[in-house]
Amino acid sequence: MKKILVALAIVAASSQTVLANDDLKTAIANQQRSPENVMRDAARHPYETLKFFGVDAKSTVVELAPGGGWYTEILGPYLRKDGKLILAGAGAKLKTKLEALPALYDKATYGDFAPGKKIDYAPKNSVDVVLTFRNVHNWIAINDSAVKDVFQSAFDALKPGGVFGVVEHRLPTSMTQDPKASTGYVHEAFIIKLAESVGFKLAAKSEVNANAKDNANHEGGVWALPPVLANKDKDKEKYTAIGESDRMTLKFVKP
């Protein structure tokens, strides 16, 4: 009988672990996600990416410049019960979209985020994770001070031990970095140096969002690739075959 009870306890503990791990999968499978966003899962690996950054259901998370809300659609439901989601720089269109689904997104809060002007989204030492997805090139395009201010704001907002997760289009080391990142691609070393300049330590790299087919040399820059396909029918088959961009996935930690 004792052996049976021990075995049952192990099974129960195992089941609880699986359930906890499935919370994120459940959020990713949320039926309210936009179909066009779901189509990008195979290229963006949300489960593996968020696990790599250490985001759990109890985390306080800041998403910088969420844009159309691709990751917000996942983070909102995932963090709603026990965590907290702060959207820094959410536009009116995204807010309207989220407000229409209060059962999923009513707990999300908003912060000011206008690099080069005003950044104020969380008190110092108050959050567990700050995330940015494919945004760094936009801040570089403003000026050097603006992009450094963004990284500094992430460092300041995080608790000691907190994580700054960065996903960005990766420029091959053999290619020259445009000072304004006008192609949308950035050297990995540039981002690492920038993060370290404000106090972060590089904790780990992941190749989960890598794409060896992407040589970063396209007419019109990264936007020639899916999902934008900025060149429309011109070389559409070629760009579709390449898929989304080659991306670095970097995990920084605040000491």
pLDDT confidence tier of residue 18, bands split at 50, 70 and 90: very low
> How open is the CA angle 223-227-230, to the nearest 5 degrees?
40
Q: Residue 170 pairs with which residues in a beta bridge?
A: 186
> How open is the CA angle 227-72-134, to the nearest 5 degrees?
45
- Closest to 211 measured CA to CA, from 252, 172, 164: 172
pLDDT at residue 3 is higher than 50: no
Q: What is the pLDDT of residues 113-153, one digit of tens each?
A: 999 999 999 999 999 999 999 999 999 999 999 999 999 99
pLDDT at residue 77 is higher than 80: yes
Instruction: For 233, list phi and psi in degrees, rounded to 5.
Output: -80, -15
Q: Distance between CA atoms of 42 and 22, rounded to whole angstroms?
A: 18
pLDDT at residue 105 is higher than 80: yes
pLDDT at residue 11 is higher than 50: no
Greatest C-alpha distance within the chain: 71
Rg value, the chain, Cα: 19
Is residue 158 within 8 A of residue 128, CB to CB? The reply is: yes
pLDDT at residue 4 is higher than 90: no
Can you spell out the DSSP letters for 103-132? HHHTT-EEEEEETTTEEE-S-TT-EEEEEE
- Closest to 34 measured CA to CA, from 70, 66, 67, 64: 70
Q: Residue 66 pairs with which residues in a beta bridge?
A: none
pLDDT at residue 17 is higher than 70: no
Return the SS3 of 152. Answer: helix
Q: At 151, list the tokens.
A: 């990284």
pLDDT at residue 7 is higher than 80: no
pLDDT at residue 15 is higher than 50: no
pLDDT confidence tier of residue 109, bands split at 50, 70 and 90: very high
State residue 73's pLDDT score: 98
State residue 22's pLDDT score: 84
Is residue 75 within 8 A of residue 61, CB to CB? The reply is: yes
Q: Which one-letter amino acid corresponds to residue 148?
A: K
Half-sphere exposure of 244 (CA within 13 A, CB side): 17
The residue with tokens 């992941």 is 206
- Closest to 159 measured CA to CA, from 227, 60, 64, 81: 60
Q: Distance between CA atoms of 236 and 231, rounded to whole angstroms?
A: 7
Give the mean pLDDT of 188-207: 98
pLDDT at residue 24 is higher than 70: yes
pLDDT confidence tier of residue 13, bands split at 50, 70 and 90: very low
